[in-house]
Amino acid sequence: MAELRLGPLLRYTDGSCATVWVETDRPCTAEVRCADGARGTAHSFRIADHHYALVPVGGLTPGTATEYEVLLDGTGVWPPPDSRFPPSVIATPGDDDGMRVAFGSCRWAAPPSGGKGRVGPDALDTLSARVAADPSGTRPDVLLLLGDQVYADEISDATREWIAGRRDVTAGPGDQVADYEEYTRLYYESWLDPEVRWLLSTVPSCMIFDDHDVIDDWNTSAAWLADMRATDWWQERVLSGLMSYWVYQQLGNLSPDELAADPLYTTVREASDGTDALREFAARADADPASVRWSYRRDFGRTRLLMVDSRAARVLDEDRRTMLDPGEAAWLREQVMEGRGDGDRDGGSDSGSDSDGAYDHLLIGTSLPWLLPHLVHDVEAWNAAMCGGERGARWARAGERIRRGADLEHWSAFPSSFDALGDLIADAGTGPGAPATVSVLSGDVHHAYVAEPSWPGRTPDARVAQLTCSPVHNSVPLSIRLGFRFGWSAPARALGRRIARHGRCAPPSVSWRRTGGPWFGNQIMTLTLRGRSARLRLEQARADRDGTHVLRTVADRELA
């Protein structure tokens, strides 16, 4: 009898359909049955001796929530008979519903081997406990996981012991993940956590990778990539990382229509073993990043979400270095501007807004923040100039060492891309049909903050904000706390200007100010969007005196 190894994960949802992802222990037919009669089935596909199914569920009713169960070859496997959690549900948005979008990044399932510092309660575990305690209460309509869902380079003691039992950890990548099988172990460790497993079964999720999903500093520079490709283990590592990301994360980001039009998904499902086809795809994606688009779009009524790949889509040549390759940049602009100001409401719902645009709120999800503390921004721009040869070969060599050592690889380390994103945001937020808000949602930097930009000579009609929330569950050492507090200060800003002058850096095309934070801790941010209004809440996971973990609100404010 087939058994459930991992999942179910509720992934895509809209007013009438959903997808549910599962991993099973053998080939089977997976079925999702809903209490209201909606259902769907899918036969499993095979990758590297693992079996998966993504079940499309049709016939759902907009604006309702229905309990569901999962069956494998006709036998019920979810919910477990001894579950202490409420039944999992599929909730579909209605025409007049608002949206609650929760987001964060950087989650250790368990502290890594040799990890130092206090980690504290897990914000996702704590969110799950709150939702489970009041199933009919307020919950996120979608959860955005903005990178570092797993840590391939910082593994737990238990995973290290398991890896050491299957290969020599003194060779290759050592006690880091080496291949697809070891990646599956990371997902089991993370998503079999009972609270997280139940939360992901009942709250839809959208995901995008960041560096630790593959390796720290992934695609920092052309020199970094050349060094990695010179090792005897990198090729297997990166192909396994991309393959496992496609299976465990990317498939669920896509709608049923997008899946039906995806030739790789069709090939994998129809093959007796899809491993070779997926491996060839991953090799092509690694060799020619422009051949694959990991970014994607989701429309939730009058809210448009664009999840942007800021890792694999980079152009790394120093003389034309950009965060997004030209095709990716063109795709992003097209998605942002589609329907803007033309009265086109196709694919959305009228929330009572008097806007003539395609959406009332634009969310740009990018794992790496666009707007950083001013000192960090200026140092990254200076470093990009040094590595590009602005001060000669000696400075270029030193700049590369500094870039890797200090993780100088955000949007500000790609100055032309930083300016281009700013121009695009200003264009999106200006003129007839402009949305009420444009929010850049990010993580990575192990603190939370709000920053608001302004443009010389123009004032967008939309309220624009950089909203950063990290980590969900990770250590935040004192050095990070002190460093980022100083980085936002006035003296740090003055120091940054001096450093930028040394690099002969052009001033950025946008200025910005911090309007909230910095906040440190394991935390999650939620945007509540209703009509043309937007409200932001930041909550941190904390332990009460009795040991109970709770989410405490540390910021709650109107954005629009």
- At 157-191, the pLDDT tens digits run 999 999 999 999 999 999 999 999 999 999 999 99
Q: What is the pLDDT of residues 263-304, one digit of tens each?
A: 999 999 999 999 999 999 999 999 999 999 999 999 999 999
pLDDT above 70 covers a percentage of the chain that reads: 96
Mean pLDDT of the region 547-552 = 92
Residue type, 554: V
pLDDT at residue number 95: 67
Mean pLDDT of the region 104-122 = 86
pLDDT at residue number 484: 94
157 versus 345: which is more confidently predicted? 157
Q: Is the pLDDT of residue 342 over 90?
A: no
Q: What angle, rounded to 10 degrees, do the helices at 234-245 and 222-229 form?
A: 110
- When pLDDT is cut at 50, 70 and 90, the band that residue 115 belongs to is low
Q: Is the pLDDT of residue 528 over 80?
A: yes
Tokens representing 385 are 């100039």
pLDDT at residue number 97: 66
How many degrees, rounded to 5, is the angle at CA 142 between CA 541 and CA 62?
140
Residue 350 in contact with residue 440, Cβ under 8 Å? Answer: no
Beta bridge partners of 363: 305, 439
Give the three-state DSSP class for 284: helix
Mean pLDDT of the region 496-500 = 97
How would you write 363-431 as a 3-class SS string? EEEECCCCCCCHHHHHHHHHHHHHHCCCCCHHHHHHHHHHHHHHCCCCHHHCHHHHHHHHHHHHHHCCC
pLDDT at residue number 377: 98
pLDDT at residue number 128: 98
Length of the chain measured in residues: 560
- When pLDDT is cut at 50, 70 and 90, the band that residue 118 belongs to is confident
Q: Is the pLDDT of residue 256 over 50?
A: yes
Residue holding tokens 């040799």? 114
Q: Is 459 exposed, middle or buried (0-12, 13-18, 19+ CB in 10 A)?
A: exposed
Q: Cα 253 from chain centroid?
A: 11
Q: Backbone dihedral region of 73: left (phi > 0), alpha (psi from -120 to 50 degrees) or beta? A: left
Give the three-state DSSP class for 200: helix
The structure's pTM equals 0.95
pLDDT at residue number 225: 98
Q: What is the pLDDT of residues 380-395, one digit of tens each?
A: 999 999 999 999 999 9
Residue type, 166: R
CA neighbours closer than 13 Å in the CB half-sphere of residue 244: 27
Q: What is the pLDDT of residues 10-65, one digit of tens each?
A: 999 998 999 999 999 999 999 999 999 999 999 999 999 999 999 999 999 999 99
| CA nearest to 451, candidates 416, 417, 415, 422 | 422
Residue holding tokens 């016939």? 59
Q: What is the pLDDT of residues 391-427, one digit of tens each?
A: 999 999 999 999 999 999 999 999 999 999 999 999 9
Q: What is the pLDDT of residues 196-251, one digit of tens each?
A: 999 999 999 999 999 999 999 999 999 999 999 999 999 999 999 999 999 999 99
The whole-chain average pLDDT of the chain stands at: 94
pLDDT at residue number 354: 47
Beta bridge partners of 448: 519
| C-alpha distance across the termini of the chain, in Å | 53
pLDDT at residue number 98: 83
pLDDT at residue number 547: 83
Mean pLDDT of the region 304-322 = 97
pLDDT at residue number 355: 53
- When pLDDT is cut at 50, 70 and 90, the band that residue 113 belongs to is confident
Mean pLDDT of the region 465-488 = 95
**Element (H or E) spanning 498, and its range?**
helix 490-502
pLDDT at residue number 545: 84
pLDDT at residue number 242: 98
Give the chain's radius of gyration (CA, Å).
Answer: 23
